[in-house]
Amino acid sequence: MESDYAIEADGLRRSYRSRTGWLRPRLTTVDAVRGVDFTVRRGELFGLLGPNGAGKTTTIKMLNTLLIPTGGTARICGFDVEKQTREVRRRIGYVFGGDRGLYDRLSALDNLRYFAELYGVPARDQRRRIAELLDLVRLAGREQDRVEGYSRGMRQRLHIARGLLHAPEVLFLDEPSIGVDPVAARELRQTVANLAATGTTVLLTTHYMAEADELCDRIAVIADGRIQALGTPSELRSRADGRRVVEVEAYGVPDTALAALRDLPGVRETAVETRGTLQVLTVQSDAHVDVQSDVLRELAGIRLGRVDSREPTLEDAYVTIVNAS
Amino acid sequence: MSGLRLVTVGGMIAYRALFNWTRPALFIGTLFIGPLFQLLFFAYLGRQLRVGDDQFFLVGNAVLTASLACVFGGTMAVANERRFGTLGHVLLSPRSRTAIFWGRVLPYAGNGLLISVFTLTVASLMLGLSIPLSALPGLALAMAAGSLACGFFGLTLGALGLRFRDVFVISNVAVAVLLLLTGVNVPPGNLPQWMVVVGQGLPVTHAAEAARMLAAGRGLDAAAPAIGQELLVAAAYAVVAALLLKFFEAESRRRASLDTL
Ligand SMILES: Nc1ncnc2c1ncn2[C@@H]1O[C@H](COP(=O)(O)OP(=O)(O)OP(=O)(O)O)[C@@H](O)[C@H]1O
Ligand SMILES: [Mg+2]
């Protein structure tokens, strides 16, 4: 029954029904995932990217047995996620970004001891395995402290240790680097890369494009519950081939100016990222058109910071794909 | 073998993780001192009203004092998963839910037994009730059965807590109902018939009855059927709790009805 693929998703769908309103209840249905197909080979590091609410977490929850698909099927190492839950659960680990999900009153050590028990780590291996993992996530020395006193990043690292307790064949990492400092994030990427190198299949979601670019063998971009693009990072990047990017730091850009940028001749995409009061405008254009002077003219009178012209990155390709969906 | 470990070691860790009253002040105050005064209150009230003798109130109430720890503990053993957001991670376990959750009840039952023994000892010394030495093993057995039944009763409520957010309201009501319907403070003859019938299906009722027989020196043979009935009640709640947990888990996978993460 063992399959060549670690993960196979076949027309996966999931909708949520919820009741809103109390006096006059209405049943609303959200189609979170609307037909997703992909396969992940054993040992592959597969990225799932997409905007908030795209259906990434929902997809993962169907693959890890917490939710039953409303349509389609999926298999983990050949086992059906709906019916063969025990076989699937033996083989998977799940790390979910966030502050919750740990027993606050227990120490890190006791949290790990409990989940080692639940995840079927043999008693004689537990002590060694837990010590290894505490070392790996750099919590050794703090393992006796109650988790309620942990910082966000420490919790996140404990989540990761827990997900690895039973050395799962397939690891689902849902925004694992959220709240983790840059040094720890780099270590985390190294850890993930090592796991994949030693044969663990990893399905990763992240909002950090550089992380996905560095780590993933292949990436699926999902938006509106459907896969919009699937390929290696360089294949996805090539979607922005023949383009050039102008990046402008600015303060207080009015919406009218943004709309004007989008309408400039040669401009293909625009995006804005806000960092505090600073806005970073990204303007993609055809490579043979130099739009920089046009862009600056549209922004005349607005306080600007650094202005840069560069080759497109995976992030630019991602923006293109998501905007097209 | 590893199933046994899951029940015992797992149960103990879960007790420390999920029980709200493990801090020494809360533990002693809420679980030992409070119930002791409740017991004394009913014993003195009984003297005043001449409804029953000291032994009636003391022994029955000593069995009942376990209920606070066991009923609330059993509830917390499931319902508090919601507070920590850990339920999803527990449900990802490939192991038997029944073993995981039944194991969680045992520490509370042990805790309850300890409380019953404590309140009975202190109250007997204070009020000058003497209990035949030969009755002690039987009494311990009856109290253990009562605590176990209370624990599984609490687990049943906790399972309901997966579905109904404010389940601790139900636990509060349940503890008050036990006070009335188990016949510990009001002899069954003085209760309406339907209350007696309900009481038969509640924890503590049969254990208290058995404990009274034992304290009166009637021997384990006489008390055994009542202890057996209490264990039957415990088993029934254990099964109901396991079924509810199974049902709510299946439903949550279909309807995304639990906040599993
Ligand atoms: N339990 C639920 N009940 C109702 N709707 C839900 C539920 N969980 C998710 N949704 C909806 O399903 C859609 C997809 O959500 P999902 O969590 O899968 O997105 P995501 O891609 O993981 O987003 P993010 O990047 O923000 O984590 C959203 O519209 C969300 O509101
Ligand atoms: Mg998500």
Going residue by residue through chain B (261 aa), what tens digit of pLDDT does each one get? 678 999 999 999 999 999 988 888 888 888 899 999 998 999 899 888 877 788 888 999 999 999 999 999 999 999 999 889 999 999 999 999 999 999 999 999 999 999 999 999 999 999 988 888 899 999 999 999 999 999 999 999 999 988 888 888 999 999 999 999 998 988 888 889 999 999 999 999 999 999 999 999 898 999 999 999 999 999 999 999 999 999 999 999 998 877 654
* Closest-lying ligand 1 atom to the alpha carbon of residue A50: 21
Residues of chain A with CATH 3.30.70.260: 242-315
How close B86 comes to chain A (CA, Å)?
4
Q: Using an 8 Å Cβ cutoff, are A180 and A156 in contact?
A: yes
pLDDT band, very low/low/confident/very high, at A21 (cuts 50, 70, 90): confident
Q: Is B100 on the interface with A (CB under 8 A)?
A: yes
Task: List, as one string, the DSSP characters of A52-71.
Answer: TTSSHHHHHHHHTTSS--SE
Nearest-neighbour CA in chain B from A67: distance (Å): 4
Q: End-to-end CA distance of chain A, in Å? A: 37
Chain B residues within 8 A of A96 when measuring between CB atoms:
88, 261
**Residue in the block written with tokens 């055809």:** A286
Confirm if A286 and A242 have CB atoms less than 8 A apart.
Answer: yes
Q: Is B94 on the interface with A (CB under 8 A)?
A: yes
Average pLDDT value for chain A:
91
Question: Best mutation site among B16, B19, B22, B89 for testing chain A: the one with the most A CBs within 10 Å?
Answer: B89
Q: How many other C-beta atoms can be found within 10 angstroms of the C-beta atom of residue A284? A: 24
pLDDT for residue A2: 61
How high is the pLDDT of residue B213?
Answer: 93
Q: Provide, rounded to the nearest whole percent, the portion of chain A with pLDDT above 70.
A: 99
ipTM given for this complex: 0.92
Helix (H) or strand (E) holding B4: helix B2-5
Q: Examine the pLDDT at A313 and tell me if it is beyond 90.
A: no
Q: Tell which residue, B159, B147, B142, has the closest CA to residue B67.
A: B147
Element (DSSP H or E) covering residue A7? strand A5-20
Q: How many CB atoms are located within 10 Å of the residue B200 CB?
A: 15
Q: Is the minimum CB–CB distance between B216 and chain A shorter than 8 Å?
A: no
Ligand 1 neighbours by CB, cut-off 6 Å: A 16, 18, 30, 32, 50, 52-58; B 256
Q: How many Cβ atoms from other residues are within 10 Å of residue A257's Cβ?
A: 17
| DSSP letter assigned to residue B187 | -
For residue B128, give the amino acid letter: G
Nearest to A105 among B2, B16, B91 (CB): B16
Dist CA B146 CA B75 (whole Å): 16
Is A71 in CB contact (< 8 Å) with chain B? no
pLDDT, residue A72, reads 95
Cα A174 to averaged position of ligand 2 atoms, centre (Å): 7
Contacts of A113 in chain B (CB under 8 A): 9, 13
Tell me which residue of A233, A263, A261 sits closest to A247, measured CA to CA: A261
State the span(s) of chain A assigned CATH 3.40.50.300: 5-231
Q: Touching check for A230 and chain B: CB below 8 Å? A: no
pLDDT at A1 over 60: no
Q: Is A76 helix (H, G, I), strand (E, B) or coil?
A: strand
CATH: 3.40.190.10, 3.30.70.980, 3.30.160.250, 3.40.50.300. Which one for A5-231? 3.40.50.300
Which pLDDT value is given to residue A20? 77
The residue nearest atom 4 of ligand 1, judged by CA position, is A16
CB atoms within 10 A of CB A208: 16
Give dist(CA B156, CA B168) in Å, integer.
12
Sorting pLDDT into bands at 50, 70 and 90, what band is A60? very high
Partner-chain contact B13 A119, CB within 8 Å:
no
Q: What is the pLDDT of residue A67?
A: 95
Amino acid at A74: A
pLDDT at res. B2: 78
pLDDT of A160 reads 92
Indicate left, alpha or beta for A106 from its phi (over 0: left) and psi (-120 to 50: alpha). Answer: beta
Looking at the complex, does the CB of residue B89 fall below 8 Å from at least one CB of chain A? yes
Across the interface, of A17, A96, A106, the residue whose CB is closest to B17 is A106
pLDDT digit string (tens) for A266-293? 898 888 888 888 999 999 888 888 889 8
- Minimum-distance CB partner of A117 among B9, B16, B256: B9
Of B222, B215, B194, B167, the closest CA to residue B60 belongs to B215
CATH second-level architecture of A242-315? 2-Layer Sandwich (3.30)
Percent of chain A exceeding pLDDT 90 equals: 62
